[in-house]
Amino acid sequence: MHGELPKQVLTQRSRSKRRYYALGLLLILAASGLVYYFASPAQQQQQQRRGRFADGGGAVPVLAEIATNANVPVYLDAVGTIRALNTVTVRPQVDGKLIEVAFKEGQDVKRGDVLARIDPTTYKAQLDQALAKKAQDEALLANARNDLARYEQLLASNAINRQQSDTQRSLVAQYAAQVQADQAAIDSAQATLAYTTIRAPINGRTGIRQVDEGNIVRGSDANGIVVITEVQPISAFFNLPQQELGAVNTAFAKGPLAVEALRSDNGAVVDRGTLRVVDNQVDSSTGTVRLKAEFPNANLQLWPGQFVNIRLLIDTLQQALVIPTGAVQRGPTGTFVYVIGDDNTATVRPVAVQRQTETQTVIRSGIAPGERVVTTGFARLTDKSRVTVSDPAATPPAAATPAANPGPRRPRGDGSKRPPAAPP
């Protein structure tokens, strides 16, 4: 027992020393962290000062463009649905056996072209009966007229009484009316016989055939024989908000309005047409008004049922002041831009926006033509900041050399002349 006690004491002392060492190491690490935390802002500020010195006294690199005057078209955008100008479901007008199909699916046909034929045997026999009946009644009418002529001669000599003459005259009128009825029956039979030849009612393109040759067809068939759609020209329907109705009607009253059909994927113009109809009422459930445009569709680039983007031109602003939309900023007091002065200082300038699209903005007031406005580089930009207009073609932009006589779209440099290129 006396031999083991010193070992336990030594073990406890060694554990206490390790605790002290660990606690001291933690204190050292915490002190190092505090020193680094408080020392890093000073280092960062020093690095920022070095960066500003390397950049030329703290000038902010930006891109800029010049405000210019241009004719700006005013468009209204919508999504439209392409529809055939005319659509006809060709159905038989008489019942019978389909003995011939004279068209091919997808064929372009003209008005009056033969599409199909129905067995005409029964209807031709009905026409022959009507013709025979008329011939019979015409013979009776001729005989009655001869008798009437004789009766009138006898009446003139008082050989017969007037009643017999009047009765004969009435009989002649009856036969004449019967002949007229026979002619009407002939006309009806001829029309029915003509219906056995089915012709195209409009110019257009045939769809998929709905019935095959040899089938019995009836006028009550819902599907008909084929559907013909007129796709040259073709129409497009689209909706606009009711707030735009006044501007559209004002422009439409002055003359036809141009309409463009655009691809939905890349915005390319598919076809150009004109506005035909503005609907006579606003849809109360959606607050929109329906419009119809017509396109030539010369190359069949538009197809019924297709969705396209529609752009309606309602006005053109003559010589309006325009700048890139990226230059317009918004703050608590409204819209503003950074205008670069001759001393390469960017100044905040409030502007009034007249119209804005994704790419350009029409300015009503606030800047003048020829002034430069900042389009990129707003992160470090403040009022009265000194800027350098970077050359986007240079790599890197900070190494760009100032250029003389900035162009009308993207100025470069502060107006100093570019040094001559080194010989090769």
Confidence tier at 152 by pLDDT (50, 70, 90): confident
For residue 193, the SS3 value is helix
User: Of 328, 322, 321, which Cα lies nearest the Cα of 376?
Assistant: 328
* % the chain with pLDDT above 90: 62
Distance CA 183, CA 240 (A): 56
Determine the Cα–Cα distance for residues 78 and 288; give it in Å rounded to an integer.
11
Longest dimension (CA), the chain: 185
Q: Binning pLDDT at 50, 70 and 90, where does residue 162 land? A: confident
Asked if 224 and 91 count as a contact pair (C-beta separation under 8 A), the reply is yes
DSSP 423: P
End-to-end CA distance of the chain: 97
CA distances to 195, 302, 335 from 2, rounded to whole Å, are: 133, 108, 92
Q: Which domains does the chain have, with CATH numbers?
A: 60-71+319-399 (2.40.420.20), 75-83+225-318 (2.40.30.170), 92-217 (2.40.50.100)
| DSSP H/E element including 126 | helix 121-156
Residue 414's pLDDT band (cuts 50, 70, 90) = very low
Tell me the C-alpha distance between 304 and 237, whole Å: 11
pLDDT at 10: 46
Top pLDDT among 27 and 197 is at: 197
Kindly state the helix (H) or strand (E) to which residue 52 belongs, with its residue range.
helix 5-55
pLDDT classification of 166: cutoffs 50, 70, 90? confident
Of 115, 135, 133, the closest CA to residue 125 belongs to 133
Cα gap 35→38, rounded to integer Å? 5
pLDDT (0 to 100) of residue 266: 76
Say which DSSP state 399 is in: G
Residue 84 has pLDDT above 70, yes or no: yes
Q: Which residue has the tokens 């929109």?
A: 288
Structural contact between residues 320 and 358, judged by C-beta atoms closer than 8 angstroms: no
Tokens for 92, please give them: 């038989």
Q: Check residue 16 and give its pLDDT.
A: 61
pLDDT per residue as tens digits for the range 167-194: 888 999 999 999 999 999 999 999 999 9
Burial tier of 397 (Cβ tally within 10 Å: 0-12, 13-18, 19+): middle
pLDDT at 110 over 60: yes
Res. 226: pLDDT tops 90: yes
With 0.95 as the threshold, say if the pTM is over it: no
pLDDT, tens digit, 9 for 90 and up, residues 249-263? 999 999 999 999 998
Between CA 407 and CA 105 the distance in angstroms is 59
CA distance 148 to 314: 78
Predicted pLDDT at 12? 58
C-alpha–C-alpha distance, residues 150 and 33, integer Å: 143
How many Å apart are CA 178 and CA 174, to the nearest integer?
Answer: 6
Residues in the chain, total = 424
Contact 84, 231 (CB under 8 A): yes
Within 13 A of 407's CA, how many CA atoms are on the CB side? 5
Q: Which helix (H) or strand (E) holds 246?
A: helix 245-254
Q: Is the pLDDT of residue 392 over 90?
A: no
